[in-house]
Amino acid sequence: MNLILLGPPGAGKGTQGERLTADGGLEYVVTGNILRAAVKAGTELGVQAKAFMDAGDLVPDELVIGLILERVRSEEAKDGFVLDGFPRNVAQGEALDAALSDLGRDLNGVLYFDVPDDEIVRRLSGRRVSEAGRVYHLESNPPKVDGVCDVDGTPLIQRDDDRPETIRKRLAVYHEQTEPLVEYYAARGLLHTFDGTAPAEEVEAHLRKTVSTLRLEDAV
């Protein structure tokens, strides 16, 4: 099974990706984690990526594609993968198609989480983080004492990435660069849409049912 999780930041891809791959069998490939791991390991592609990151620049498509395809071709992903955060644009999607074709593999499905912008802003802007990295949410997971971590009593902060104006800028980039992938995969009959505003358990049940159906279709 080769799957892609698609949707805006804050749509719940990480939560569902972890749940989907918890049983094993599928390699969970998260773009940000792959970049950080390659930089830490000092691989050739990691060194190149670090130079861009240190300069505050976006890592070029060709480097990101190279890092992801390394993992896709790895022994850990031989039985399948779930990609989260890749592809980010149609050019990356086309590069992935070409690489999978070379490996004699195909995408089984693209799992798209549909969430309105206002809901994304509400979700992300409500996050607060402790010095140790513990994450709270003002609505869904508030601290016992406002503004203070339950565990160590340190002040909770709102990260710059979680400020409403920053979130809307990230969403604008998503709509311009990543959202065209929805039509790209829909035209190939690979897109499966989920209501990302539904409770996480409901989304998970729908997701697992869809993946089970895709497994049966793949086995035919």
Q: CA-CA distance, 97 to 187, in Å (whole number)?
A: 14
State the residue range of the domain holding 201: 2-115+177-219
- Domain assignment present for residue 95? The answer is yes
The domain spanning residue 213 has which CATH number? 3.40.50.300
The answer to whether residue 169 sits within a structural domain is no
Q: Total structural domains in the chain? A: 1
Would you say residue 75 lies in a domain?
yes
Q: Is the pLDDT confidence value at 118 over 90?
A: yes
- What's the CA gap between 119 and 138, in Å, rounded? 14
Q: 172-210, pLDDT tens digit by residue?
A: 999 999 999 999 999 999 999 999 999 989 999 999 999
Residue 123 covered by a domain:
no
Confidence of residue 11 (pLDDT cuts 50, 70, 90): very high
150 within some domain? no
Q: What is the average per-residue pLDDT within 48-66?
A: 83
Q: Could you tell me if residue 143 is inside a domain?
A: no
Is the per-residue pLDDT at 219 higher than 80? no
Residue 70 lies in a domain: yes
Q: Region 28-35: what's the mean pLDDT?
A: 87
Higher pLDDT, 43 or 114: 114
Crossing angle between the packed helical segments 61-72 and 90-102, to the nearest 10 degrees? 30
Q: Provide the whole-model pTM.
A: 0.86
**Catalytic positions:** 13, 88, 127, 159, 170
| Residue 76, in any domain of the structure | yes
Token pair 């340190």 is found at: 154
SS3 for the chain is CEEEEECCCCCCHHHHHHHHHCCCCCEEEEHHHHHHHHHHHCCHHHHHHHHHHHCCCCCCHHHHHHHHHHHHCCHHHCCCEEEECCCCCHHHHHHHHHHHHHCCCCCCEEEEEECCHHHHHHHHHCEEECCCCCEEECCCECCCECCECCCCCCECECCHHHCHHHHHHHHHHHHHHHCHHHHHHHCCCCEEEEECCCCHHHHHHHHHHHHHHHHHHHHC
